[in-house]
Structure 1
Amino acid sequence: MEKLGPGSDADTLQVLAMIPRDGFSLVVDAGSGIGRQTLALASRLQTTVHAVDTAAKHLDSLGRYSAQLGIEHLVQTHCMDMADIPAIFRDVDLLWSECAAYHIGFPNALASWLHAIRPGGYAVISELSWLRDEVPEHVHTYFRRGYPDMRTVDENLSIAHAAGYEVIATHILSRAAWIDGYYDKLEPLARSLLDHPEQAVRTFAAQTLEGIHVFDSAADNYGYVFYVLRKPVGETTAVA
């Protein structure tokens, strides 16, 4: 799998262009995974992007991909918990996180990472969000099991304001970014594992296919939303 989650370079760069600033001295990608967006950011910004992830194998893959693209000098990997970012990084100009903040909780991530960002710096964080008030029951049932903490866009905007951010913009991840290179590769792989001798593998494959079916039938009731945020200039940077 070249992608470990929904996303596309086109969406990443479209959101990057929403930030009213051209250059960044310190960029951190929280929960980088194998780094599709890390590479897109590094290539466009031509500045070092610090990729943070707890999986060493993902960071090793990112290192290989960056070398293949000839931009290994623009990617620095850190095998660590994204919750520890404020203890390691100071005065971050741009903190980026796609499909990862939920690992430590969206409200907790926003509150924690604010301390690592310099006044006037930016955070771009994508979070799975409800997009409509009326949601089919089978979709609600699926996410009550899989992600019961999922909130509406307005609720997440309120969380961002309460954490101390200014909201610059939002962007809904395109439907194609879920399918191309992700679900279109994941679905046949999951189907091939339905008869695997290990029960745990069969269960995981069935759950994966259920998630794809829910997405196909959900009529855009949910999606990943990028929240483009700014730390006010009047805020000071401190360790939580």
Structure 2
Amino acid sequence: MSNENKTIHEFDFNLICEFFSNMKRQGPGSPEVTLKALGFVDNLTEQSRVADLGCGTGGQTMTLAQHTRGKITGLDLFPDFINIFNRNARRLGLQDRVKGIVGSMDNLPFQHGELDLIWSEGAIYNIGFERGLNEWRKYLKTGGYIAVTESSWFTDERPVEINNFWMNAYPEIDTIPHQIAKIHEAGYLPVATFVLPENCWTEHYFAPKVAVQEMFLDKYAGNKTVEEFVRLQYHEEELYRKYKKFYGYVFFIAKKIE
């Protein structure tokens, strides 16, 4: 299989985890974008319960915690991510309100109607956008919010190279109007939708990756799997820079209406 046709999910979980453990963010985003999305969420109090699903090491979670009240649970499949998450919470003095736990998106440890807000930046794709919207809804209180970022097409037509890349990596990618329709059909009121700016990719994701890629290649010199993994990271960046007018991450904020 050529590198161009391989996806990140075909590499060993431990390799993926070690690589991204060295990054503050495990996907495109920024503190400014997190706060912009949070601005569309009303009525959070000290009694509010928030879950950040697929939280990674908690870059966005700590931003949320510093600008909200209430308790936040971060959930991720990778124990190493959660260890870093909880270390970050202690370092910021947030450990009384913010806790990371190891868990799976398709088996959430929450009660029905327990949560005021479900957050997920760059991670709902692990379960699928439509499935996540539908299955997570039961954990929200009536009037509770869901806020997620999801890869989306900006146009109805796009070049074959980038179309094939995404159809191989994540066939559920869709256009923004279709995503909003799925939100509505799942029983939410769409509240806000906006495209993540380019610096969420270049400044906050690709730039920090450079040092990690170099460190990884040095640590595992001669390891063909690692070399292929790093090549995939470069390839994804090349595709984004070449085709960024056709796709990107989009923030979707919606409210459970009944």
Answer whether contact 1:50 1:78 (CA < 8 A) is retained: yes
- SS of the residue aligned with 1:135? coil
Question: CA-to-partner distance for each residue in 1:76-113, whole Å, 9 max, x for gaps?
Answer: 22211122226546421111111111101111100000
Answer whether contact 1:86 1:112 (CA < 8 A) is retained: no
TM-score normalised per structure 2: 0.84
Answer whether contact 1:172 1:224 (CA < 8 A) is retained: yes
Matched, 1:2 2:29: no
- SS of the residue aligned with 2:34? helix
Of 140, 152, 169, which aligns to 2:175? 152
Taking a change above 3 Å as real, the CA distance of residues 56 and 89 of structure 1, as seen in their structure-2 partners, is: farther
State the distance in 2 between where 1:49 and 1:172 align.
Answer: 25
Match of 2:35 in 1: 13
Question: CA-to-partner distance for each residue in 1:141-160, whole Å, 9 max, x for gaps?
Answer: 22122222211111111111
Matched, 1:36 2:59: yes
Match of 2:49 in 1: 26
Match of 1:98 in 2: 121
Q: CA deviation at 1:191?
A: 5.9
Amino acid at match of 1:21: N
Which segments of 5 or more consecutive residues in structure 1 lack a partner in the other structure? 236-240
Answer whether contact 1:101 1:125 (CA < 8 A) is retained: yes
Q: CA deviation at 1:75?
A: 0.5
- SS of the residue aligned with 1:85? coil
State the distance in 2 between where 1:88 and 1:37 align.
Answer: 24
- Greater mean alpha carbon deviation, residues 125-134 or residues 77-86: 77-86
State the distance in 1 between where 2:136 and 2:254 align.
Answer: 12
Amino acid at match of 1:206: R
Answer whether contact 2:89 2:98 (CA < 8 A) is retained: yes
> How high is the sequence identity, in percent, across the aligned residues?
29
Match of 1:224 in 2: 249
State the distance in 1 between where 2:95 and 2:109 align.
Answer: 25
Taking a change above 3 Å as real, the CA distance of residues 87 and 50 of structure 1, as seen in their structure-2 partners, is: closer
Amino acid at match of 2:28: P
Amino acid at match of 1:140: N
- SS of the residue aligned with 1:166? strand
State the distance in 2 between where 1:87 and 1:64 align.
Answer: 23
What pairs up with 1:116-131 in 2 under 5 angstroms?
A: 116-131=139-154
Amino acid at match of 1:120: G
